[in-house]
């Protein structure tokens, strides 16, 4: 049985989910309220029920009159996103959830809590991915469709509610889950604006990071507004031959064009850019690669995030040794390139992008509707 039949994924890749309240901007909600002759303050009540009380079901928005709750429920159905499997690792500090969407597609999100009080959620922006990175589990499953803004927001509200129930709060959001965020920039940016809206969650734009595999034409229009969201570029190689072999997108936008767009971004925004670099044993993790990377990035306002590879079932790639990782890091630091090594989280629950969905498809003929 294929991955997609195992998940019950719909064949129509052009499926558009039913519009939910989470897809609306505050201005659109205000207009909807106005056209139905309700007082304008009702829009704020609905918005705050969602983004402060974390309630997405109109029937449970008890601050609203019953008649309005009924109209909202009729026009904006409860988001048909079901958490179907949950895995916990790292003593409870890492939680990964597989969600099923209304058309049968599956996406993954991860919550990571840290000793210093940070709580970061990593969200998906697409069902599948068309970029095709050879070391990434998501790319092995192919691309199905973009997520709506509401489907993205739902992932964040889901984990925000879990944190609230533990007396904690979400501190960071990273768009580094399944999919290429800049290939779905309109929906991604709507989700950012909704989360940042001061009337509701008022989530700091500076605590949001959006990642890209290197869509230069989208980097050149990022950010679409003046919100100071962080940008991360998945680089993973210091030269074109190597990058093309593991990231086919490099054929379209080679490293010279990618670095030029990164420089334009820094000049335009005066903000530091992050380069993500997955370290793969015997592939891109040698001392020579580290020196080449240092030369490539020298003089650019940037930070390098080194990520030891998470093993992908069926993939020939392996993570490097701790010694290799530390040597690579030290070469960058000695060259004046700021860098850190990302702590491995959730390895025992297949926490890298797409691995939970892949593993689930191998062992289950169908996704159950409830955990």
236 is in an annotated binding site: yes
| Residue 57 CA, distance from chain mean position | 24
The count of other CB atoms within 10 Å of the CB of residue 114 is 14
Rounded Cα distance between 26 and 31, Å, is: 9
310 is in an annotated binding site: yes
Is residue 170 classed as helix, strand or coil in its secondary structure? coil
Q: How many CA atoms lie within 13 A of 344 on its CB side?
A: 15
Answer for the pair 256, 215: CB distance below 8 angstroms, yes or no: no
| Residue 302 CA, distance from chain mean position | 21
235 is in an annotated binding site: yes
Rounded Cα distance between 68 and 73, Å, is: 8
283 is in an annotated binding site: no
| Residue 92 CA, distance from chain mean position | 21
179 is in an annotated binding site: yes
Which of 181, 116, 112, 132 shows the shortest CA–CA distance to 152? 181
211 is in an annotated binding site: yes
180 is in an annotated binding site: yes
User: Which of 55, 95, 108, 151 is flagged as catalytic?
Assistant: 108
Rg (CA), the chain: 21
Omega within 30 of 0 (cis) for the link into 223: yes
Which of 210, 214, 285 shows the shortest CA–CA distance to 248? 214
User: Which of 122, 302, 339, 353 is flagged as catalytic?
Assistant: 353
How many helices, marked H, and strands, marked E, lie in the chain?
13, 12
Q: Can 122 be counted among the known catalytic residues?
A: no
The count of other CB atoms within 10 Å of the CB of residue 70 is 13
Task: Provide the residue count of the chain.
Answer: 371
Q: Can 108 be counted among the known catalytic residues?
A: yes
Q: Which residues are annotated as a binding site?
A: 129, 133, 136, 179-180, 211, 234-236, 310
Which amino acids are annotated catalytic? 108, 353
As annotated, the binding site for [4Fe-4S] cluster includes 129, 133, 136
Annotated binding-site residues for S-adenosyl-L-methionine read: 179-180, 211, 234-236, 310
């Amino acid at each position: 049985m294929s991955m997609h039949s195992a998940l019950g994924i719909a064949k129509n890749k052009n499926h558009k989910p039913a519009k939910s309240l989470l897809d609306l901007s505050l201005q659109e909600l205000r207009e909807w309220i106005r056209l139905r002759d309700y007082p304008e303050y009702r829009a704020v009540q609905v918005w705050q029920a969602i983004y402060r009380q974390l309630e997405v079901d109109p029937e449970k928005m008890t601050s609203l009159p019953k008649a309005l709750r009924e109209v909202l429920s009729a026009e904006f159905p409860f988001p048909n996103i079901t958490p179907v499997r949950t895995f916990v690792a790292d003593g409870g500090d890492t939680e990964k959830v597989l969600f099923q969407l209304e058309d049968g597609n599956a996406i993954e999100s991860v919550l990571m809590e840290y000793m210093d009080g940070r709580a970061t959620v990593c969200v998906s922006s697409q069902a599948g991915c068309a970029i095709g990175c050879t070391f990434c589990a998501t790319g092995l499953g192919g691309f199905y469709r973009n997520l709506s803004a509401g489907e993205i927001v739902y992932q964040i509200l889901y984990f925000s509610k879990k944190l609230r129930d533990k007396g904690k709060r979400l501190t960071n959001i990273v768009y580094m889950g399944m999919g290429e965020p800049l290939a779905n920039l309109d929906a991604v940016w709507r989700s950012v604006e909704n989360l940042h809206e001061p009337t509701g969650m008022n989530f700091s734009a500076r605590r949001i990071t959006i990642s890209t595999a290197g869509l230069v034409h989208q980097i050149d229009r990022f950010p679409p507004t003046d919100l100071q969201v962080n940008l991360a570029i998945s680089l993973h190689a210091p030269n074109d031959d190597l990058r093309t072999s593991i990231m086919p997108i490099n054929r379209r936008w080679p490293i010279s064009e990618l670095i030029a767009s990164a420089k334009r971004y820094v000049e335009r925004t005066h903000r530091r850019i992050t380069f993500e670099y997955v370290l793969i044993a015997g592939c891109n993790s040698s001392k020579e690669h580290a020196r080449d990377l240092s030369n490539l990035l020298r003089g650019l306002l940037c930070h390098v995030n080194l990520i030891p590879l998470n093993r992908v079932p069926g993939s020939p790639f392996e993570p490097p040794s701790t010694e290799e990782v530390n040597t690579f890091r030290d070469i960058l630091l000695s060259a004046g390139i700021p860098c850190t090594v990302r702590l491995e989280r959730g390895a025992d629950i297949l926490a890298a992008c797409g691995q939970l969905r892949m593993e689930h498809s191998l062992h289950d003929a169908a996704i159950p509707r409830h955990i």
